[in-house]
Amino acid sequence: MHGLLLWPDRPALSLLVLWAVSQLLLYAARVPMHRVLRKLGTALGGAFRLAARWLRSAAEELRRRNREVLLESGRADAETRLEREFQRLATTFTADLKAYPALHRRLDESVKRVEEDLAASSLTPPTAPGWPEAVQAVASIPKAGDRTVQKVLDEIHRSAQVQEKKALQEWREAVAKRHGILAASAARWKVVHGLLEQVNRTVSGVLAASGRIDGYMDTYQKIQRGENAAERVLAVSAIELFVVSLFVVAVAGFGGFVNFQLIARPMSELVPGGAWVLGMPVSTIAALVIVLMEVAAGIFVMETLGVTHLFPRIGALSPSRRRVIFGVALAGLFLLASIEASLAILREQLLEADKALALALAGESARGAVTVAAPLLSRIPTIGQAVMGFVLPWILAMIAVPLEMLVQSGRHVIGRALVLVLQGGSGFLRIVGHVARQALGALVHAYDIWIIVPLQAERLARGRGDADRNELGPATLRNPAEQTAPSFRAPR
């Protein structure tokens, strides 16, 4: 600032002269300067608008592709589910229909037997003869005085009583027989009931499966039609899947880290190398490779089992070849788990050796020996580490499933995030363009404010000149600044 002063010892005069010179120069350059600022505003605003439009169209294109991918993956998923449901239904139907002739025969036989039993039990039992009335009639005959007649009558009475008892006995036996037939028939009713329940269960299962198939078909048709509702459902499902699988993969990652820590130290003993790769010693790389190999073996096991479909070529292999790969991967995993268990044991021994060394160097070996834990307790960490070393690889092998889910859903989630970023960028550039245009417009006004004195002088001079020319009086003068103010287009 001090250097700008023409006469440093007289700053006020210097500033006044500078101001006057600036007024003259800026007034003279006013029109071209306005043009420059106007053009600059248009250029900047246009450039930002173009960039915003490009980002918006890119976002739209990406959104369209995401939609296509999402619908396609949803369609494939629905097809898989439908196929699986049909297969299940076919399996159930085959098994049930296979058993149906036998079921029908058993049901028919049971019904026939029940009918026979009913027929047998409906036969009229021998009616009990009217012996009671006869006995009563004989008994009510007045006793005659004749002894012979009396004797005959007594004999008749006795005989009637015997016959009555016999008839009653026969009748009771016939009723008991019918009851027996009916009792035996109850078991057959139960068989029939059981068979009918079996049929009911099968039919209910078929109905439930058909209901599920209807639902899947409905979803499938919505996806086929490309309905927005179907897309929204698929998007929400993909985001949920992404979050859950990300969490599981993160947990597995921590498991992998623990696994790595377990074998890093003993690996430095087994792979002592001077070289470093990417800022890590070779032994660390070796430990990392073992952990990654466990993950790879786990992925192969899951692929060959058909749980995941990360490698289509493995899925397309014949079952026998897949079995071979499964066996090799499983054996590899077992081998790696065993190696890790042994390394974990070695780790504990090495740590103890390090501790002993530190104590020896500090001259405290005697005290260190005294504080050593009891043998049983000291083995617990070793056993624990060995178990961890053996179990962790198997748990890590399971990472294939969430990994596949993460890859599948991540494609959509990342695409969606990119769309949001592009849309946000587009909006931001539009705002920046608008602000740039308005700022340059304001700069034009600020320019005129700075040279307000010559402008007002010009206005007065023009007013007088116009008044001289116009008999009606001075014309309504517009502010020159307004005349040259840039006329920017309103932002779209």
Partner 1 sequence: MRPLAQAAAAAALLAAGCTDAHAHARAVCVLVDVSGTYADQRHEVIRVVKSGLLPHLRPGDSLVVIRVGDHGYTKDSVVATATLDDQPSHANAQKMELAGKLDRFAAADLRERHTDLSGAILLAAEYLRASHAGRKSMVVFSDMLEELPRGAQRTLGPGELAGVDVVALNVKRLAADQNDPAAYRRRLDGWGVRLAAAKAASWTVVLDPSDLASRLEEP
Q: Which residues bind partner 1 (CB under 8 A)?
A: 265, 268-269, 272-279, 281, 350, 353-354, 357-358, 360-363
For the chain, the straight-line distance linking the first and the last C-alpha, in angstroms and rounded, comes to 43
Amino acid identity, position 363: G
Q: What is the DSSP secondary-structure string of 303-357?
A: HHHTS--S-HHHHTS-HHHHHHHHHHHHHHHHHHHHHHHHHHHHHHHHHHHHHHH
Are 253 and 242 in contact by the 8 Å Cβ rule? The answer is no
Residue 361 or 472 with smaller CB distance to partner 1:
361
CB of 371 to partner 1, least distance (A): 17
For 38, how many CA atoms within 13 A lie in the half-sphere containing its CB?
Answer: 15
Percentages (nearest 5) of helix, strand, coil residues in the chain: 85, 0, 15
Residue 18 or 357 with smaller CB distance to partner 1:
357
Residue 278 or 376 with smaller CB distance to partner 1:
278
Of 35, 33, 28, 4, nearest to 447 by C-alpha is: 33
Are 451 and 23 in contact by the 8 Å Cβ rule? The answer is yes
Pair of tokens at residue 204: 């209910």
CB of 358 to partner 1, least distance (A): 5
Residue 328 or 356 with smaller CB distance to partner 1:
356
CB of 265 to partner 1, least distance (A): 8
Residue 240 or 269 with smaller CB distance to partner 1:
269
Separation of alpha carbons 430 and 434, rounded Å: 6
Residue 103 or 286 with smaller CB distance to partner 1:
286
CB of 276 to partner 1, least distance (A): 5
Pair of tokens at residue 260: 């790595």
Residue 236 or 277 with smaller CB distance to partner 1:
277
Are 195 and 145 in contact by the 8 Å Cβ rule? The answer is no
Burial grade of 11 (CB within 10 A; 0-12, 13-18, 19 or more) = middle
Separation of alpha carbons 53 and 51, rounded Å: 5
Dihedral angle of Cα 149, 150, 156, 160, to the nearest 10 degrees? 150
Residue 90 or 362 with smaller CB distance to partner 1:
362
Residue 196 or 358 with smaller CB distance to partner 1:
358
Handedness of CA 378, 381, 384, 386 (dihedral sign): negative
Residue 338 or 349 with smaller CB distance to partner 1:
349
CB of 332 to partner 1, least distance (A): 25
Helices 11-28 & 400-450 angle (0-180, nearest 10): 100
CB of 288 to partner 1, least distance (A): 14
Strand partners, 374: none
